[in-house]
Every structure is written in structure tokens, then in C-alpha cells.
Amino acid sequence: QKEVEQNSGPLSVPEGAIASLNCTYSDRGSQSFFWYRQYSGKSPELIMFIYSNGDKEDGRFTAQLNKASQYVSLLIRDSQPSDSATYLCAGYSGGGADGLTFGKGTHLIIQP
């Protein structure tokens, strides 16, 4: 069974520091990965996706993928209180929507 594992947290990070969110996956057939941000009471919003080994940067966000270790991470630089949310990791192994597996999410708190 395909699984995407995340530490549920809460992960508490001081404002201005780097927040590091981690995700591991069981399906070696997973081709690409998505990070969604979900504010309390709101719907998930896509912030990053990655499909190649290495780093992908977009503003304050960096996604990292290591397929050999089956490990994905999201780094948030210069963390702001507005980054406080639950971050969902999802792995895609092809075959349409059924190939998208979500983790339970990590609750991130940025302390002012």
C-alpha cells in the first residue's frame, strides 16, 4: 500500500528562522511530489511541486527530493507568522488521481 508519512507536529519555529518540513514515501514508483499549504478552516493550496532529484527554489520556499532515500522536504526561509499552517505532502505515481497519495500533514507554528 502506498504511504506518505509526515510528522503531524506541531512544529514550532521562531520567526525569521528556517522551517524544515519532512516527508517520506513508501512507493518507489512515485514520480513527483506536491506540497500543499492549508490554513485552519481553509482548503489546501498548492505551493510547490518537484519531480527531479535535488533542490527547487521558489522565493522563500525550497523543495528537496532524494529518490534514493525516498525523502522529500520543504524548507521555508525567513519564516513569517503568516506561514503558520498545516503543510500536506503528496506523492504521485501516475495513472491519474488515484495515483496521488497524501500525507496527514505537518502543523507548523511560527512564533513571533
Partner 1 sequence: ETGVTQTPRHLVMGMTNKKSLKCEQHLGHNAMYWYKQSAKKPLELMFVYNFKEQTENNSVPSRFSPECPNSSHLFLHLHTLQPEDSALYLCASSPKSVGGLSITNEKLFFGSGTQLSVL
Site of interaction with partner 1 (CB under 8 A): 4, 8, 31-32, 34, 36, 42-46, 49, 51, 88, 90, 92, 94, 96-105
C-alpha–C-alpha distance, residues 39 and 97, integer Å = 23
Give min distance, CB of 97 to partner 1, in A: 5
Give min distance, CB of 101 to partner 1, in A: 7
C-alpha–C-alpha distance, residues 39 and 18, integer Å = 19
Report yes or no: 101 and 34 within 8 Å, Cβ to Cβ: no
Nearer Cβ to partner 1, position 17 or 46? 46
